[in-house]
Amino acid sequence: MRVGLTGTPGVGKTTLAGLLDKRGWRVVDVKEWAHAEGCVVGFDEEMGTDVVDVTTLRARVPPDDGTDVVYESHLSHYLGLDEVWVLRCDPDVLRVRLEARGYSPDKVRENLEAEAIDLILSEALEEGGRVVQRDATHRSPQELLSSLLATRGGSGHDLERVDWSDRLPV
């Protein structure tokens, strides 16, 4: 199964991917892979992030060969994978993590706003395919992993409800 692990920066994607790696999953760091494929087509100065040609990258995703592969990136919901896991985190908690990373105030605000308005979830749902959402705020990475493995391959979306609209404006 090919899973896209997505979410706003700082929600815990890399941490969870590390646990999946330990369980024998193949982990694709989409940013690294995009570079290797020549699919990084620019740099967004304002956001301080690479601009990735997701359409080309999506066409290069290998078909499911029966092994468990996780594609980790805030863009992975654009890759046409078998299932998408959206991790969420309370913007108040996320703020501390993003500031600790040294993100600029604009970049922090942009990401917190995206989290508060469910931006990535909406994008993932628009893409089609099965979407699973979990709130990672008060779960250990291990608890999160168990919850995601329990639902994977199921039918229909499995969306844990979050509502941080009261945090706006961030």
Q: Which of 140, 149, 160, 168 binds ligand DAT (CB under 6 A)?
A: 140
Is there binding between residue 11 and ligand DAT (CB under 6 A)?
yes
In this complex, which beta carbon is closest to ligand DAT, that of residue 79 or of residue 136? 136
Q: Which of 97, 107, 109, 157 binds ligand DAT (CB under 6 A)?
A: 97
Q: Which of 3, 4, 9, 121 binds ligand DAT (CB under 6 A)?
A: 9
Q: How far is the CB of 7 from ligand DAT (least distance, A)?
A: 6
Q: Return d(Cα 97, Cα 126) in angstroms, integer.
A: 28
User: At how many degrees (to 10) do helices 13-22 and 141-151 cross?
Assistant: 70
Q: Return d(Cα 134, Cα 12) in angstroms, integer.
A: 11
Q: Return d(Cα 40, Cα 50) in angstroms, integer.
A: 6
Q: Which of 1, 15, 47, 109 binds ligand DAT (CB under 6 A)?
A: 15
Q: Return d(Cα 24, Cα 78) in angstroms, integer.
A: 24
Is the CB of residue 98 less than 8 Å from the CB of residue 111?
yes
19-78 residues near ligand DAT, rule: CB under 6 A: none
Q: How far is the CB of 163 from ligand DAT (least distance, A)?
A: 19
In this complex, which beta carbon is closest to ligand DAT, that of residue 11 or of residue 108? 11
Cis bond leading into 169, ω under 30°? yes
